[in-house]
Chains A and B, each alone.
Chain A
Amino acid sequence: MDHTLLVELSRAQFALTALYHWLFVPLTLGLSFLLAIMESIYVRTKNPEWKKLTKFWMTLFAINFAIGLATGIILEFEFGTNWSNYSWIVGDLFGAPLAIEGIMAFFLESTFFAVMFFGWEKVSPKVHLLSTWLVAIGSNLSALWILVANGWMQHPVGMEFNLESARFEMKSFADVLFNPNAISKFLHTIGSGYVMGSLFVVGVSSWFLLKNRHRLFAKRSIIVGASFGLLASLFLLATGDESAHRIAQSQPTKLAAMEGLYDGKRRAGIVAIGQLNSLKKIGDTQDEFIWSIEIPYALSFLGFRNIDAFVPGIDDLVLGNEKLSIESAQSKLDKGKIALDALRDYKEAQHIGDIPRKEEALALFRSHEAYFGYGYLDKPEKIIPPIALTFYSFHIMVGLGSWFLALFFFVLYFSMIGKIETKKLLLYAGLFSIPLGYIAGEAGWIVAEVGRQPWAIQGMLPVGMASSHIDAVSVMITLGLFAIIFTALLIAEVKIMLKQITIGPEEA
């Protein structure tokens, strides 16, 4: 079976699993904090209505948590089977963060979750509130370790490749943990979860108001949801800006694809909206867009905090730009092949016991190590990720993020002046924004992961070298199985959730 087909199937399977997993996670991240805020109001005011309100949202939180529980474990199964080479190569780095995540999740789930769900009448209100906050903080910290691992894949730091063990070995845990890409990714990701949780609370509450049911409950919920959502949207805006800034430093090909930028320029603008020219090829003179609306200077500022800065385009990154000292992809490919040859030479010298030759090969490898992954690429154009998918996903994410900011603002404003019930259109917008929140989150992950292509580890290991040689038919079978299992779980979640929402807060 063709290895390319196998790699594509394994990628499709991983993408399907990750996208389904991400349907459950953001609501857990966001709703957990909203529960903590609602319960804090209850403990402070001692008003039983707030307790009822907290319990209702807690039930919906439990449904989402239970259905989504362990969907991420499938990704770990896939690492061992479909991506065994990758797993081995990064084992030393990923072992610690993922083990901490596993232990943290286990203890958190078996203790504080239990107190949160079973302990209403068994522990004091303050201890219960503490448990709810710890669930929220713990869930978010759990995400930290996953995103530290992912951030390292986007920008590998604090490691060195060991030619004996075939592993990237950690040289500095602090460098890995405080990797700026990991930090900005973590903050942006949890921020998207807060927005999702807020959209959910606002959307469901809007439905109650449209149905003229539980009006006081809905109005209270909507104020908490919209306030938190507005703050979270502003946080998302700031962390998104920092994320893009980091991408400009460490993943320029991703930034160029996000903006459909072929011909690099100073004072580059951001395309607010536009249609890519699908006939455009690297190095030709065709226009990049059929039509577009641009915000002047914004990309130079976003990427380099300077409106005069030069933002390299796809042509610059592939063909090189001598004037601006931008290295061509071909030069990187050549250096990568030197690193690869040095690795072979090292192993051969080791085999025949030629120590000086071995040390010489090691020195040559180290001097070209940063280009190691490029040695596996056969054409310079291969360094560019799929442009259309990255560009449109990025713009869908940003467009929807802007919409959510406006939505939270207007919902909060009309709630505060007591007119939210009369704004039917706004309530419908709130309700129908729930699925849009999921679309925005998934689009964000597509930008992060598709935009990283062709790499499993940026610049170091292409996905083709990361995958295992297994039977493609078995990957097809499991891909189909996952599609069935995850769709069934999603249907179960939606059905149980709708039933519980329809029952309303009285029975929570």
Chain B
Amino acid sequence: MGWLKQIIFFYRDGFKQMRVGKQLWVIIAIKFFLFFVVLKLFFFPNILQTHFSNDTQRADFVLEHLMKH
């Protein structure tokens, strides 16, 4: 388990010593919240995943779309 501790301390010390990095991590956190929580959940559903329960239905829907033109 010594190596695991070493890795944890490596990251912990690295984060502690950051200067401009702290500001960057705040930006990354805000950005991830906006992307993965706000945008993904409220604005970007995966249409075929949410509207159909299996791949056969998805394939049929896309084929219908391709053929009805």
Residues of A within 8 A of B (CB): 59, 62-63, 66-67, 69-70, 73-74, 77-78, 80-81, 84-85, 87-89, 114, 117-119, 122, 163-167, 340, 343-344, 347, 375-376, 465, 468, 470, 474, 477-478, 481, 485, 489, 492, 496, 500
Contacts and interface: CB of A to CB of B under 8 A. Distances in A.
B62 A85 contact: yes
Contacts of A122: 10, 13
B35 to A, nearest CB: 6
Main secondary structure of the interface of A (DSSP, over half): helix
Given A114-B10, A165-B55, A340-B67, A66 B24 contact: yes
Interface in B29-69: 31-32, 34-35, 39-40, 43-49, 55, 58-60, 62-63, 65-67, 69
Given A70-B32, A166-B66, 14 more contacts: A67-B24, A114-B10, A114-B14, A118-B13, A119-B10, A163-B63, A166-B60, A167-B59, A344-B67, A465-B66, A478-B43, A481-B39, A485-B31, A492-B27
Contacts of B32: 70
Contacts of B59: 88, 164-167
Contact of B11 (A78, A118, A347, A485): A118
A477 B43 contact: yes
B44 A78 contact: yes
The 5 A-B residue pairs with the shortest CB-CB distance in the complex, in nearest-first order: A118-B14, A80-B46, A66-B24, A84-B47, A77-B44
A118 B55 CA distance: 45
**Residue from A77, A114, A119, A122 having most chain B Cβ neighbours under 10 A:** A77
B9 to A, nearest CB: 9
B27 A67 contact: yes
**Residue from B40, B44, B47, B66 having most chain A Cβ neighbours under 10 A:** B66
Contacts of B14: 114, 117-119
A59 B20 contact: yes
Given A118-B14, A347-B63, A496 B48 contact: no
15 contacts: A67-B24, A70-B35, A73-B35, A74-B35, A74-B39, A77-B35, A77-B39, A78-B44, A80-B48, A81-B46, A85-B66, A117-B14, A119-B14, A478-B39, A496-B23
Nearest to B43: A478
Contacts of B11: 114, 118
A343 B45 contact: no
Contacts of B62: 85, 88-89, 166
Contacts of B24: 62-63, 66-67, 496
A166 B40 CA distance: 26
A468 B47 contact: yes
Contacts of B13: 118, 122
